[in-house]
Chains A and B, each alone.
Chain A
């Protein structure tokens, strides 16, 4: 079987919707298979790659930073990139530039880049399949 190229478009911001969790689970499976992945983040989803995200302790529950072990989407993106590379796949993770500017989140996880909806069109043209996960 030839190497597959899949495109996934995301729209939900981090820490608000379970869509992000499900999307990362899908990406993880595809990365483990060594598929090439194109990810286009749009609207609030561009904040997923914002590199200044920080884990935090939870004083309400009496947990320090390590105990809380708070996941960040920037680390999850880095993990997907690493898993894909380990298995021979490539990831092109594009954050919509206008959406980034609106939100001031223009510092990205290394390995992701700024782009436009035109990139999404190019992804669709070049992919074996596409999944769009819209906001509710």
Chain B
């Protein structure tokens, strides 16, 4: 079992690729890997309760840890997060890198 950190920096309202990335997270988790999806920059826009957050809440229920960068949230005035999503510091990225996990940026 591998450990993955998938960083999503894109806004799903702007890029359809984002849902493919969510699908990648789901597929990796279903294959038995430990997966964290870290939303950053405009990627946090889907952390608000909205049409795209339902996908993230579903990911959370399927075993993917879904985190949203606290700085990006604050920049955008987002305080309320959808179910299954937690705010986290950028330190998470360094933690995963230092642990030797597979870290991908989109």
Q: A residues bordering B, Cβ < 8 Å?
A: 4, 6, 18-19, 22, 25-26, 29-30, 33, 35, 128-134, 136
Asked if residues A18 and B105 are in contact (CB atoms below 8 Å), the reply is no
CB-CB nearest in chain B for A29: B94
Q: A18-B41, A133-B105 are in contact. Are A6 and B97 (CB under 8 A)?
A: yes
- Give complex CA distance A34, B105 in Å: 23
- Give complex CA distance A30, B97 in Å: 10
- Give complex CA distance A48, B69 in Å: 24
**Among the listed B10, B40, B103, which residue makes an inter-chain contact with A22, where contact means beta carbons less than 8 Å apart?**
B40
Q: Which A residues lie within 8 Å of B41 (CB)?
A: 18-19, 22
- 17 additional A-B pairs beyond A26-B93, A26-B94, beta carbons within 8 Å, are A6-B94, A18-B9, A18-B41, A19-B9, A22-B9, A22-B40, A22-B41, A26-B90, A29-B90, A30-B94, A30-B97, A33-B94, A128-B100, A129-B103, A131-B97, A131-B103, A131-B105
Asked if residues A129 and B98 are in contact (CB atoms below 8 Å), the reply is yes
Query: Nearest Cβ distance between residue B84 and chain A, in whole angstroms?
Result: 23
- Give complex CA distance A26, B72 in Å: 13
Produce 1/0 per residue, B36-61, CB < 8 A to A: 00001110000000000000000000
Q: Which B residues lie within 8 Å of A136 (CB)?
A: 9-10
CB-contacts of B63-106 with A (<8 A): 69, 71, 90-91, 93-94, 97-98, 100-101, 103, 105
Q: Which A residues lie within 8 Å of B94 (CB)?
A: 6, 26, 29-30, 33, 35
- Give complex CA distance A134, B9 in Å: 11
Q: Which B residues lie within 8 Å of A133 (CB)?
A: 105
